[in-house]
Structure 1
């Protein structure tokens, strides 16, 4: 039996990038552990009826419930909050003006996950999880955090550090970063532009965080698991809107109101360790 650990910054990140992977791994009998580093306390809330949560102390606990529902949708039963509930808080972000890309704010609040002085403690906390879970495969982000959010960057840093501690020679644990294949995303965006009913603008592919298709080490075809990924996306109602009339592909949007495709596969780039860790799920 294979063991998979995923390390994500906020509730919803796990579903957007790895919802299908988690569902496929559960179906294959893998042990799946999800580690979430913060509760996304600074997230922007989309639905008008929930907007009173934005900026309040209620948003984090509400997003924790959304995360539990999303985990249930894809079948994940082992979910951990890094360091325990409320240990690390969302650091927030600022837009860079370069597409959907972000950077760290000038000032980080108390307990913010991205505070530089806390790296070693966070690595230690994640090492404790990995030592218990004994993963064959670990998934997080690349060095840019996908789109620059400081909490994603920090998740990449501590995941790499923790994996190196439990597998210093890189012989046992395969470490992957999530990756959106450029051409697949571009085809999905083109299809969305042809939807006369879609009430959202569709961005150019250059504005989205993608990688060249040939840089993707492994693609996980979602197949029927995409239905469960869509259910998990809907569970994150404060952060994600899902638009699906049965056309291919379905669409989702974040608080920026830009339509993105829910592609038929999820991509991953091997960063360290033995190749082939996710190969069994790629068939």
Structure 2
């Protein structure tokens, strides 16, 4: 690679615009500010997302179906706030469409019901051919040559079908990209040294929910019991890394505001922030899925995703 390119490079693979900011925005801003390379690949434009801005309701999928293009602009604005210059859509914008979802009674996401008339969008990401989708990511891996990749866990963190598919595509593409004899036309092989899955600390979520409850906002998260099951979280003993990016919280919050159709500034995310302090957004957690863990801090967590390379 040219000498001007950063020596340390991070690749993130996410399903929809806003996922990257909520889960990894502070890490992204921190590494970009430090001169490390940060590349984001987004798999869909989030066409099926719920619209939280009433005056933009006409963009909904069952109306004008213009949300994806609008969220494209939101993502561009968010990336400017985080200082990220390299952002791409898997296969190019519009190659894969948001598959939609519905909620299971136990509090996690599951695939949406297919249309009764048999119609629908043939390019829904959930139904994409795995090898075909991975082949869109392989050349990016081989071009960028990241030492570290971040994506979701096998459950997509909370069950969303596109998150699960993004996990599958990212993990498979990482394997294929390292095989010297695989698709030589897609570039020189590259083996990603460390792979992480984004995580939400169970203990910290419980603490936040307890503070919301004690502040009289117990319905903010739809009545989730801070002492009950929390399917979106990860037990702290399974978390390997904690990136402290509190110095970049304001960039993350600004990026969250840029995703205005998806994140309400008076909604539960910001209510949680108000009750825990902005530190809730500056600390981001990760499970290690591949590679050797670097040195850990006093709390037992690795503090830098590039540590040990």
Report the TM-score when normalising by structure 2: 0.80
Q: 1:5 aligns with which of 3, 7, 11?
A: 11
For residue 63 of structure 1, what is the aligned residue in structure 2?
Answer: 71
1:115 aligns with 2:121: no
Question: Which digits, 9 at most, give the CA deviation of each residue in 1:141-196, with x for residues without a partner?
Answer: 00000111111001000100111122369975211100001001111222223335
Q: Distance in 2 between matches of 1:41 and 1:115?
A: 15
Which of the two has greater strand per residue?
1
Q: Distance in 2 between matches of 1:217 and 1:231?
A: 27
1:143 aligns with 2:154: yes
1:92 aligns with 2:100: yes
Larger radius of gyration, structure 1 or 2? 2
Q: How many residues align?
A: 272
CA contact (8 A) 2:110 2:160 kept: yes
Quote the offset at 1:95 in angstroms: 1.3
1:165 aligns with 2:176: yes
Q: Distance in 2 between matches of 1:110 and 1:281?
A: 37
Question: Which digits, 9 at most, give the CA deviation of each residue in 1:68-92, with x for residues without a partner?
Answer: 1111111111000000111100011
CA contact (8 A) 1:25 1:281 kept: no
The unaligned stretches of length 5 or more in structure 1 are 252-260
For residue 304 of structure 2, what is the aligned residue in structure 1?
Answer: 280
For residue 46 of structure 2, what is the aligned residue in structure 1?
Answer: 40
The unaligned stretches of length 5 or more in structure 2 are 1-6, 115-119, 181-189, 296-301
The root-mean-square deviation of aligned C-alpha atoms, in Å, is 2.6
Q: How does 1:1-283 map to 2 (within 5 A)?
A: 1-55=7-61, 56-99=64-107, 101-107=108-114, 109-116=121-128, 118-167=129-178, 172-195=192-215, 200-201=220-221, 203-205=224-226, 206-243=229-266, 247-249=274-276, 262-276=280-294, 279-280=303-304
Quote the offset at 1:198 in angstroms: 9.3
Quote the offset at 1:262 in angstroms: 4.1
Q: Find the residue that maps to 2:112 and give its secondary structure.
A: coil
Question: Which digits, 9 at most, give the CA deviation of each residue in 1:107-131, with x for residues without a partner?
Answer: 3631101115x11111010001111
